[in-house]
Amino acid sequence: MTRLRHRLALLGFPLAVSALPLLAPAPASAEAPPCEPGVTRYVRQSAYAITSLSIPQSWPLSRGQGQVVAVVDSGVDDSNKHFPPGTVLPGTSFVPGSAHEDFIGHGTAVAGIIAARPVAGSALIGAAPEVKILPVRVFQDEDTTGQRVVQFPPDTSRMAAGIRWAASHGADVINVSMSTNAGDRHLPELKAALAFAHAKDVVVVASGGNPGAGDTLPMTAPRWPAAGTHVLGVAATNPAGVVDQWSIHGPQNDVAAPGANVLATFHGNGDCLYGQEHAYTSFAAPFVSGLAAQLRERFPDESADQIAYRIMASADRPRMGERDDVSGWGEIRPYEALTMSLDPNRAGPPVPGVRKPAAAPADTSPVTPVAAQSDPLAPVRSQAMWAALVAVGLCALALVLRPWLGPLTRERRRGR
């Protein structure tokens, strides 16, 4: 692991897989057995990330059936039993070898978080367990045993080509758990590929990035492709459900998802519990990709932008009308995304293609005043009012004078 990091640094590659610790097996813990290449083990404990998001609650509504999720990564080892025949499509490789080879194990883990099928004795199941995976292999690193040297390390140009290929070959959703920075000389190629995918109405999900070895960029510097227009950038939450300093903060973050203690497929050898030390955005992004596939099944007539809106608008956050550079619009909530309405008055991101009604100025009223008209009975009412006032006045005067008028009247009677 350390040797590979140093090799990448010496070669000067600006692009880095968002979760480099995945290159090494996860350490053993009281909850999970150690992960050893060539040794098949299964984790029987409950999958924390799946349950923390209440994903099983969403499965009666959608399991991603009929959807294709492209994994632009290091390949997908389909010999893992969580990928029965037909789960992983042929795909393509932009480096020598097959798309079904994965020396580093990164793409295989990402694919398992999205689409792993149940296996007896294992708690692992994908977020969208009926989707098909389209593997698009764009780099090839040494394996976790350190026996293979870095031959085709992460490269932005190949990543861009992989996104284009996936968008042209039936992908409904594209997952890119990789990141680069604004200084990458191949960034124009990547932006063009993202625009191409959007024109094809494909949902693109990308990891927001983790600080790498020797990373001198500010914690808030945007990472690509997550920072791209029409791309869902994903931050990683820790076991407390918080995006900490291990997940890069920046404008690229649209939503967040679990990136710690994530159960995923391990090469061709069963399961592995990843992110036991830190939360990694490489693991967080595939949860969002799985949700996007669920939404595409449930709402087949909605555009990629509308699917992305559902994911952002339904996310859990302290203030519904505010996003931030730490967790974007908040941690995803699959069931809410699958059941919400497209309401332009909802606090949060704007509904694509719908202009939110402008609020009326505070000093105006929506009631239209009626024009004043003359009253033809006004003179009669005026006379009646004055007559009534005179009558009332006379009655009041009589009541006031009565004490004096009474004795005077009696004296006059006696004088008779």
Q: Does residue 214 have a pLDDT over 70?
A: no
In a domain, 255, yes or no: yes
In a domain, 87, yes or no: yes
In a domain, 194, yes or no: yes
82 contacts 117 by C-beta, under 8 angstroms: yes
In a domain, 115, yes or no: yes
Q: Does residue 22 have a pLDDT over 70?
A: no
In a domain, 400, yes or no: no
pLDDT at res. 20 = 41
* Residue that wins the pLDDT comparison between 200 and 378: 200
Confidence of residue 4 (pLDDT cuts 50, 70, 90): very low
Q: Does residue 9 have a pLDDT over 80?
A: no
pLDDT at res. 266 = 96
Q: Does residue 217 have a pLDDT over 70?
A: yes
Q: Does residue 353 have a pLDDT over 60?
A: yes
- Give per-residue burial for 328-345: e unless 16+ CB within 10 Å, then b: bbbbbbbbbbbeeeeeee
In a domain, 81, yes or no: yes
- How would you class 191 by CB atoms within 10 Å of its CB: exposed for 0-12, middle for 13-18, buried for 19 or more? middle
| Residue-range definition of the domain harbouring residue 41 | 2-27+37-339
What percentage of the chain has pLDDT greater than the value 70? 76
Flag the least confident range among 22-31, 36-45, 175-184: 22-31
Q: Does residue 180 have a pLDDT over 60?
A: yes
Q: Provide the 10 A C-beta neighbour count for residue 297.
A: 19
Q: Does residue 6 have a pLDDT over 70?
A: no
Q: Does residue 230 have a pLDDT over 50?
A: yes
Q: How far apart are CA 21 and CA 274, in angstroms?
A: 9
Which of 85, 79, 125 lies closest to 267, judged by CA?
79
What percentage of the chain has pLDDT greater than the value 90? 66
Q: How far apart are CA 254 and CA 52, in angstroms?
A: 19
In a domain, 368, yes or no: no
Confidence of residue 381 (pLDDT cuts 50, 70, 90): low
Q: Residue 6 sits in a domain of what CATH number? A: 3.40.50.200
Number of domains in the chain: 1
pLDDT at res. 96 = 93
pLDDT at res. 14 = 42
In a domain, 186, yes or no: yes
End-to-end CA distance of the chain: 137
pLDDT tens for each residue of 262-283 = 999 999 999 999 999 899 999 9
pLDDT tens for each residue of 313-340 = 999 999 999 999 999 999 999 999 999 9
Confidence of residue 408 (pLDDT cuts 50, 70, 90): low
pLDDT at res. 146 = 59
Flag the least confident range among 8-12, 283-287, 355-359, 392-396: 8-12
Region 92-101 average pLDDT: 96
Mean pLDDT, rounded, of the chain: 85
Instruction: Specify the pTM.
Output: 0.81
Cα–Cα distances (Å) from 415 to 330, 403, 411, 412, in that order, read: 105, 20, 6, 5
pLDDT at res. 371 = 56
Q: Does residue 365 have a pLDDT over 70?
A: no
Confidence of residue 1 (pLDDT cuts 50, 70, 90): very low
